[in-house]
């Protein structure tokens, strides 16, 4: 009605209504559709665990091949031959776990203990030198939470991502023998030389105000969650982050008092926070690391186990350990090769 009245008045007076021209607001733009999560394959669980998790030992893997075949003599129709024909080993790695898999900002390359393990596998498949082997890796950077799903979706052939092998995970994917034995500890603020704000996980849990950050969907989240429930503590004291480096940011900003993860990962974080952070307490869980592979690719698991066995014997494993971890973690015990899992 007002508009009609205005138009009548405008007809008489020729002017007088509000402006017909208006500065338009930008039209809303629809958000891009989010890519659906990779489908996960349902795998029948293994009949038995074949491990001894109570004492922190890795479950058995498939027996290693007697020797690593030459790159030109890979078994016909094998997984390794398919990878060689493809020209690249698709590997799942971290790019923010210092010492194990992190991007070197000057070279742009991802490097670390895990990456060197994968280089050895690539050297065996493609028959190339260690220097050349990086070029045969198709690096797929992934967070902790996608390590298994990416394997199941056939986006990678193998995952080297500080991944703990355990019975539950063996029900979904296959693993190599253990290539490093880690354990979970706590990163806390150093209050005086070699003394942390908390001395152990138990002391941390007893402080009702202290909060901890853990990587999401890792064994730390399960372990700390269970410990907090057991102690009747508020579960909100644990904050899970997709990226472990986000935990360090929260720690540096004083938003969490501690970070719980594998000692290997925490060692990398402590270097980045030097000299304020310290890794404390005994292992509150054992974390045997193994290379993850797709279930059903038993031949590839046996091949990788043979590569690992060779590394143990000829000193390559020790050399790689010394290159990346000795300076930070000190002497290490060569992990056992448990490979008595019956072949399917």
Residues in contact with other proteins by CB under 8 A are 9, 13-27, 29-35, 93-98, 102-106, 108-109, 138-143, 146, 242-243, 245-246, 248-249, 252, 268-269, 271-273
CB of 278 to other proteins, least distance (A): 17
* Residue 18 or 330 with smaller CB distance to other proteins: 18
Nearest distance in Å: CB 222, other proteins: 20
Cα distance between residue 121 and residue 306, in whole Å? 10
Q: Which is nearer to other proteins, 77 or 254 (CB)?
A: 254
Between 248 and 267, CB nearer to other proteins: 248
Cβ 104 to other proteins shortest distance, Å: 6
At its nearest, how many Å lie between other proteins and the CB of residue 247? Answer: 8
Of 24 and 70, which has the nearer Cβ to other proteins? 24
Q: Treating both helix axes as pointing N-terminal to C-terminal, what angle do 79-86 and 113-126 enclose, rounded to 10 degrees?
A: 90
- By C-beta, is 213 or 337 nearer to other proteins? 213
Comparing CB distances to other proteins, the nearer of 19 and 235 is 19
Minimum gap (Å) between residue 132 Cβ and other proteins = 15
From CA 94, how far away is CA 83, in angstroms rounded?
21
CB of 107 to other proteins, least distance (A): 9
> How far is the CA of 36 from the CAs of 33, 39, 40, in angstroms?
9, 8, 12
Extract long-range pairs of 219-228: CB within 8 Å, 24+ residues apart.
Answer: 219/164, 219/166, 219/184, 219/285, 219/287, 220/184, 220/260, 220/261, 220/262, 223/184, 223/260, 223/284, 223/285, 224/260, 227/201, 227/284
Least Å from the CB of residue 334 to other proteins: 28
Q: Pick between residue 85 and residue 313 the one whose CB is nearest to other proteins.
A: 85
Closest distance of CB 4 from other proteins, Å: 16
Cβ proximity to other proteins, 33 vs 193, nearer residue: 33
Whether the CB-CB separation of 293 and 301 falls below 8 Å is answered with: yes
Report the residue number, 22 or 129, with the smaller CB distance to other proteins.
22
CA geometry: angle at 322 spanning 318 and 324, to 5°? 120
Task: With beta carbons less than 8 A apart as the criterion, state whether 299 and 78 touch.
Answer: yes
The two counts, helices (H) then strands (E), for the chain are: 13, 12
Beta bridge partners of 91: 139, 158
- C-beta of 84: minimal distance to other proteins in Å? 18
3-state secondary structure of 85: helix
DSSP-derived secondary structure letter, 32: P
The beta-strand segments (E) located in the chain are 89-93, 96-97, 101-103, 110-111, 137-141, 158-159, 174-192, 195-196, 212-215, 238-241, 258-262, 277-293
């Amino acid at each position: 009605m007002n508009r009609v009245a205005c138009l009548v008045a405008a007809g008489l007076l020729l002017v007088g209504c509000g402006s017909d021209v208006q500065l338009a607001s930008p039209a809303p733009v629809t958000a891009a559709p989010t890519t659906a999560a990779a489908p996960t394959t349902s795998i029948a669980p293994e009949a038995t665990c074949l491990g001894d998790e109570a004492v922190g030992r890795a479950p058995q893997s498939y027996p290693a091949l007697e020797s690593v075949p030459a790159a030109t003599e890979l078994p016909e129709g094998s997984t390794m031959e398919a990878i060689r024909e493809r020209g690249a080993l698709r590997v799942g790695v971290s790019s923010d776990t210092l010492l194990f898999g992190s991007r070197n900002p000057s070279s742009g390359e991802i490097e670390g203990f895990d990456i060197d393990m994968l280089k050895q596998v690539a050297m065996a498949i493609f028959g190339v030198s260690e220097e050349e082997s990086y070029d045969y890796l198709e690096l797929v950077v992934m967070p902790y939470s996608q390590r298994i799903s990416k394997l199941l979706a056939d986006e990678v052939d193998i995952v080297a991502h500080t991944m703990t092998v355990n019975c539950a995970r063996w029900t979904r994917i296959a693993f190599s023998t253990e290539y490093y034995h880690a354990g979970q500890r706590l990163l806390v603020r150093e209050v005086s030389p070699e003394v942390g704000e908390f001395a152990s996980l138990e002391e941390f849990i007893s402080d009702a105000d202290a909060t901890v950050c853990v990587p999401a969907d890792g064994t730390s989240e399960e372990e700390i969650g269970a410990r907090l429930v057991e102690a009747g503590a508020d579960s909100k004291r644990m904050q899970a982050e997709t990226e472990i480096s986000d935990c360090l940011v929260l720690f540096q900003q004083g938003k969490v008092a501690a970070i719980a993860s594998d000692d290997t990962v925490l060692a990398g974080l402590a270097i980045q926070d030097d000299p304020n952070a310290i890794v404390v307490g005994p292992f509150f869980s054992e974390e045997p690391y193994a290379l993850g592979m797709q279930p059903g690719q038993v031949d590839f698991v046996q091949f990788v186990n043979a590569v690992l066995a060779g590394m143990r014997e000829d000193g390559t494993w020790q050399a790689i350990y010394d290159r990346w971890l000795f300076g930070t973690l000190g002497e290490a015990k060569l992990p056992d090769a448990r490979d008595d899992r019956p072949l399917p």
